[in-house]
A and B are shown apart, each in its own frame.
Chain A
Amino acid sequence: MAKYLLLKHYRGAPAPVNDVPMDQWTPEEISAHVQYMQDFAARLEGTGEFVDSQALSPEGTFVRYDGEGKPPVTDGPFAETKDLIAGWMVIDVETYERALELAGELSAAPGAGGKAIHEWLEVRPFMGEPETITE
Chain B
Amino acid sequence: MDEALLRSLTPAVIGTLVRRGADFAAAEDAVQEALVEAVRVWPDEPPRDTKGWLTTVAWRKFLDAVRADTSRRQREERVDAEPAPGQGEAVDDTLQMYFLCAHPSLTPASAVALTLRAVGGLTTRQIAQAHLVPEATMAQRISRAKRTVSSVRFDQPGDVATVLRVLYLIFNEGYSGDVDLAAEAVRLTRQLAGRIDHEEVAGLLALMLLHHARRPARTAPDGRLVPLAEQDRSLWNTRLIAEGVDVLQAALGRDRLGEFQAQAAVAALHADAPTADETDWVQIVGWYDELVRLTDSPVVRLNRAVAVGEADGPRAGLTALGELDPALPRHAAVAAYLHERDGDAVTAARLYAEAARSAPNLPERDHLTRRAARLNAQLRETDDS
B211 at the A/B interface (Cβ < 8 Å)? yes
Q: Produce 1/0 per residue, A1-28, CB < 8 A to B.
A: 1010000000000000000000000000
The digit string for A110-135, where 1 denotes a CB below 8 A from any CB of B, is: 00000000000000000111111101
Which of A50, A127, A132 contacts B360, CB < 8 Å?
Answer: A127
- Please report which residues of chain A, range 43-94, place their CB below 8 angstroms from some CB of chain B when the two chains form the complex: 45-52, 92, 94
Decide: B140 and A46 in contact? CB cutoff 8 A: yes
Q: Is the CB of B140 within 8 A of A130?
A: no
Q: Are B136 and A45 in contact (CB under 8 A)?
A: yes
Beyond A51-B132, A132-B171, 4 additional pairs, beta carbon < 8 A: A50-B136, A131-B174, A132-B174, A133-B171
* Contact of B263 with A48 in the complex, beta carbons under 8 Å: no
Residues of A contacting B360 with CB < 8 Å? 127-128
Alpha-carbon separation in the docked complex, A45 to B133 (Å): 10
A92/B133 in contact, CB under 8 A: yes
Flag if B361 contacts A135 (CB, 8 Å): no
CA distance A135 to B131 in the complex (A): 24
Q: Which of B364-383 contact A (CB under 8 A)?
A: 364-365
Say whether B362 contacts A135, CB under 8 Å.
no
Task: Tell whether, in the assembled complex, residue A135 and residue B107 are in contact, meaning their CB atoms are under 8 Å apart.
Answer: no
Contact-size category for B: 35 or more
User: How many Å from the CB of B141 to the closest CB on chain A?
Assistant: 3
- Judging by beta carbons under 8 Å apart, are A132 and B182 in contact? yes
Q: Are A51 and B134 in contact (CB under 8 A)?
A: yes
Q: In the assembly, what is the distance between CA of A51 and CA of B138, in Å?
A: 10
Closest Cβ of chain B to A94, distance in Å, is 6
Asked if residues A48 and B361 are in contact (CB atoms below 8 Å), the reply is no
Q: In the complex, which residues of chain B have a beta carbon less than 8 angstroms from the beta carbon of A46? A: 140
A132-B171, A133-B207, A135-B228 known; A92+B182 contact, CB < 8 A = no
Q: Which residue of the partner chain A has the closest CB to B139?
A: A48
> Quick check: B133 and A94 within 8 Å, CB to CB?
no
CB of B370, distance to nearest CB on chain A (Å): 15
Main secondary structure of the interface of B (DSSP, over half): helix
Closest beta carbon of chain B to A28's beta carbon, Å: 30
Question: If the complex has contacts A51-B133, A92-B133, A94-B108, are A129 and B174 also in contact, measured as CB distance less than 8 A?
Answer: yes
Q: Is B172 an interface residue (CB 8 A)?
A: yes
> B363 an interface residue at 8 Å Cβ cutoff?
yes
Residues of A within 8 A of B234 (CB): none
CA distance A133 to B133 in the complex (A): 23
- Nearest CB of chain B from residue A2's CB, rounded to whole Å: 9
Smallest beta-carbon distance A50→chain B, Å? 5
Least CB distance, B145 to chain A, in whole angstroms: 8
Q: CA of A48 to CA of B145 in the docked complex: distance in angstroms?
A: 10
> A46-B140, A130-B363 given as contacts; is B303 within 8 A of A135 (CB)?
yes
Kindly name the residue among B138, B225, B306, B361 whose own CB sees the greatest number of chain A CB atoms within 10 A: B361
A131 to B215, CA, bound (A): 12
B306 partner residues in chain A, CB cutoff 8 A: 135
**Residues of B close to A92: CB separation below 8 A:** 131, 133, 137
Determine whether B173 belongs to the interface, using a CB cutoff of 8 Å to chain A.
yes
CA distance A131 to B207 in the complex (A): 14
Q: Is the CB of A130 within 8 A of B138?
A: no
Do A48 and B131 form a contact, CB below 8 Å, given A1-B109, A129-B176?
Answer: no
B144 within 8 A of A: yes
Verify A129–B361 contact, CB threshold 8 A: yes
* Chain A to chain B contacts (Cβ below 8 Å), 29 pairs: A3-B132, A47-B144, A48-B110, A48-B137, A48-B138, A48-B144, A49-B137, A50-B134, A50-B136, A51-B133, A51-B134, A92-B131, A92-B137, A128-B360, A129-B173, A129-B174, A129-B361, A130-B361, A130-B363, A130-B364, A131-B172, A132-B171, A132-B174, A133-B171, A133-B172, A133-B207, A133-B211, A135-B266, A135-B303
Task: Name the 5 nearest CB pairs between A and B, nearest first.
Answer: A48-B141, A48-B140, A1-B109, A132-B174, A130-B361
Q: Report the Cα distance A132→B212, complex, angstroms.
A: 8
List which B83-133 residues lie within 8 A (CB) of chain A: 107-110, 113, 131-133
Q: Mark B174-205, 1 if CB is under 8 A from A, else 0.
A: 11100000100000000000000000000000
Choice from A48, A51, A127 contacting B362 with Cβ under 8 Å: A127
Q: Which residues of B are found within 8 Å of A135, using beta-carbon distances?
A: 228, 266-267, 270, 303, 306
Contact A45 B140 (CB under 8 A): yes
Residues of A contacting B108 with CB < 8 Å? Answer: 94
Complex formed: what's the CA distance from A3 to B274 in Å? 39
CB proximity of A69 to chain B, nearest CB, Å: 28
- In the complex, what residues of A have CB within 8 A of residue B207's CB? 133
